[in-house]
Amino acid sequence: MAAQQGAQPGQQKQPGKQMMLMDEMTKECRKHCQETAKSVDQTMKTLEEAEQSNDPARMRDAIRQARKALAEMKNHMDMRMNMMEMMEKMHGKGQKKQ
């Protein structure tokens, strides 16, 4: 009986821990989305200003900056997608993909 009682609290803590991890992941995802939106806005502004300047060097620089920003966003999103896939697999949801 003592072994059964010892198993129950561990089982009860697990869902709470999972919920906390999901809450943390949701907060991080929201934060990342906000940061990404700001980066997109800044990139659009930089490209627009470069285009309006009609300066080829400034346009090339703006394109380089945009490519760098997009690569950083993609890298971060890939990392987040991998984390979500691992979480889904841990919870048995990853098997439904085809």
Dihedral over alpha carbons 71, 77, 80, 82 (to 10 degrees): -80
* Structural tokens at position 33: 């989305």
Query: CA 51 to CA 64: how far, in whole Å?
Result: 13
Lowest mean pLDDT among 18-22, 44-48, 94-98: 94-98
Give per-residue pLDDT as tens, 29-67: 889 889 999 999 999 999 999 999 999 999 999 999 999
pTM of the model: 0.63
Model confidence at 15, pLDDT cuts 50, 70, 90, reads low
pLDDT for 67 equals: 96
